[in-house]
Chains A and B, each alone.
Chain A
């Protein structure tokens, strides 16, 4: 290696190092600590020196508890229903509002407002909306002579309620991603498809959407990851109840850590959550990897 290239490499390290330190401290260290915590029995507030090494025991206890699998199932259901609905509605809205019609910019801005609201505020807002006595939802149903329902008191309705609030908040994210993707589609390609005889449906399903498949894939991954980590809205709306009907994995982790004071167990469950999210991400990226050059895909 010449002196010149060696000093180049040193300069490269010099510039990259700060970013690597930040990445390690902010991302990697918490993940490693969480995994390590799973192997210890430690209560918050006590010195770390008093933590006891338990090996795989915590993992064995936690994973043999049916509650964790139930909350994983609840999380899967929540993510599947809410993300599917968000993808469908977001794509439909984007297709309806793309283009440069007069007033569309106003509508587009209006549609992305929910995304900008803090999740806690979203939870509080929906709690009032779903309130059995004073809520707007029941008031609206009353207009159509439908009896008032205890939205957050019924297991099925509460599950529906958290899904509705998630759809309300996160459909705009899908919308804005798809709108941006569609804006990048070559207008000539769409014209070529029109000449080839594609009408609206075929143009959309066989040309437009496949052309933004990478945007859809990355949007899906980001929404799935977020849906698996959802906490604040459920915390405020139902706190996992009634019973454990809306107790998603992150809610269960929260309760284990801060109510049960079992940080080791909570960390062990976090590892499970991490594994599930990583698996989903890998699967989605495999289906349509935005970073691949597409040469090997048909």
Chain B
């Protein structure tokens, strides 16, 4: 059975430092939620509070509607996979996977059956007698997941489980995690600093910064409608270009330093001309184009990174010298140290209030704080 998870105004303080600042979040039963943010944003602490490994300083935690705020970790019906796998080094793989069941005096036949079933799902049947130290990183990762699966919990918690794997294995395990979630259908709360993991795995992404939730939304929502500058800068690779600008007209923004004007997809409501703003343009919204248009930027290319299907151009705006990145068609060769014209796709343009950092074009609807 799967259970929803509710955080209600949950906070965590260590002395005078507030690590998690009264966050509220609801994960529906079976949902895959990814907590993402930079180091020290409070994502792991939040996960540890849900697991019961860290007492909360304030607020309540409900799992399956039951208040577990002060419950012991084993009373919360959760299982957790740690970043370093945290396998019992003195036990075999089977011993690791069956440990929780042995503590509840589950009959040996039943333990063997459930361990065997989990091992079959994860393809580690051949490893059951081995010790963790005789396993590769990827195999340890599977054993750690197996240990979680065997317990048949209502909620899975993952704390950066793929960060110790090499890039190829990480991509493979990401796919397997997604398949596993689909197969088991259990509520999953997953912590990562890797936005690719967040975007590919999540039903909904929770972006944290300095202990506060910056935005909750589907991967498409947080990418297309970033609520503020932090989310805009954090989600998307390469990161969004941000330029100092002013409102020129309801549907146009001027880059004073670059001497350019960028047209918006829709007019801004209630924003006075001359207001200082931050203009955000996704690198994917810039393409090699004809110069002289209303929405075009003049760029001096410093480095061109050919990635196959696309080429990432790094350089500066020709007039202002502000850094700019463009992700353009990989078929067209672009040489370094050339000056080029980029045309701007209004769909990928965002305007942020220079003071509050909020997105003025399409503010995401207010969800949980």
Identify the A interface with B (CB < 8 A). 186, 188-189, 191-198, 202, 206-207, 210-211, 213, 293-295, 297-298
Known interface pairs A192-B82, A192-B86, A196-B147; 18 further A-B residue pairs with C-beta atoms within 8 A, sorted by A's residue number:
A186-B84, A191-B80, A194-B72, A194-B74, A195-B51, A195-B74, A196-B103, A196-B151, A198-B74, A198-B99, A198-B103, A202-B103, A210-B88, A210-B90, A211-B88, A294-B89, A295-B133, A295-B134
Q: Scoring B residues 135 to 169 as 1 if CB is less than 8 Å from chain A, else 0, what string do you get?
A: 00000000000010001000000000000000000
Q: Contacts A188-B84, A293-B133, A294-B131 hold; do A197 and B100 have CB atoms under 8 A apart?
A: yes
The reply to whether B74 and A188 contact each other, CB–CB distance below 8 Å, is: no
Shortest Cβ distance from B78 into chain A, in angstroms?
7
The secondary structure that dominates the B interface is loop
Q: Scoring B residues 217 to 231 as 1 if CB is less than 8 Å from chain A, else 0, what string do you get?
A: 000000000000000
The reply to whether A196 and B90 contact each other, CB–CB distance below 8 Å, is: no
Residues of A within 8 A of B86 (CB): 186, 188-189, 191-192
Is B87 interfacial (CB-CB < 8 Å)? Answer: yes
User: Interface range on chain B: under 10, 10 to 19, 20 to 34, or 35 or more?
Assistant: 20 to 34
Q: Scoring B residues 88 to 117 as 1 if CB is less than 8 Å from chain A, else 0, what string do you get?
A: 111010000001100110000000000000
Interface residues of B in 9-68 (CB under 8 A from A): 51-53
A197–B104 Cα distance when bound, in Å, is 8
Q: What are some 10 contacts across the A-B interface (CB < 8 A)? A: A188-B84, A191-B80, A192-B88, A192-B147, A194-B72, A195-B53, A196-B74, A196-B103, A211-B88, A294-B90
Residues of B within 8 A of A207 (CB): 88
The reply to whether B79 and A195 contact each other, CB–CB distance below 8 Å, is: yes
Shortest Cβ distance from A165 into chain B, in angstroms?
35
Q: Contacts A294-B133, A298-B92 hold; do A196 and B87 have CB atoms under 8 A apart?
A: no
For A202, give the chain B residue with the smallest CB separation: B103
Which 6 residue pairs spanning A and B have beta carbons closest together? A196-B100, A188-B86, A197-B74, A192-B86, A210-B90, A197-B103
Residues of B within 8 A of A195 (CB): 51-53, 73-74, 78-80, 100
Residues of A within 8 A of B82 (CB): 188, 191-192
The reply to whether B134 and A189 contact each other, CB–CB distance below 8 Å, is: no
Tell which of A196, A211, A294 has the most Cβ of chain B within 10 Å.
Answer: A196
Identify the B interface with A (CB < 8 A). 51-53, 72-74, 78-80, 82-84, 86-90, 92, 99-100, 103-104, 131, 133-134, 147, 151
Shortest Cβ distance from A36 into chain B, in angstroms?
45
Residues of B within 8 A of A295 (CB): 131, 133-134
Residues of B within 8 A of A191 (CB): 51, 53, 73, 80, 82, 86
Residues of A within 8 A of B147 (CB): 192, 196
For A209, give the chain B residue with the smallest CB separation: B90
A210–B74 Cα distance when bound, in Å, is 21
The reply to whether A196 and B133 contact each other, CB–CB distance below 8 Å, is: no
A123–B224 Cα distance when bound, in Å, is 80
A30–B147 Cα distance when bound, in Å, is 55
Shortest Cβ distance from B141 into chain A, in angstroms?
14
Residues of B within 8 A of A202 (CB): 103
For B76, give the chain A residue with the smallest CB separation: A195
Residues of A within 8 A of B99 (CB): 193, 196, 198, 206
Residues of A within 8 A of B83 (CB): 188
Shortest Cβ distance from A10 into chain B, in angstroms?
37
Residues of B within 8 A of A188 (CB): 82-84, 86
The reply to whether B53 and A193 contact each other, CB–CB distance below 8 Å, is: no
Shortest Cβ distance from A189 into chain B, in angstroms?
5
Residues of B within 8 A of A197 (CB): 74, 100, 103-104
A210–B104 Cα distance when bound, in Å, is 20
Tell which of A186, A191, A295 has the most Cβ of chain B within 10 Å.
Answer: A191
A213–B131 Cα distance when bound, in Å, is 15
For B134, give the chain A residue with the smallest CB separation: A295
Shortest Cβ distance from B260 into chain A, in angstroms?
52
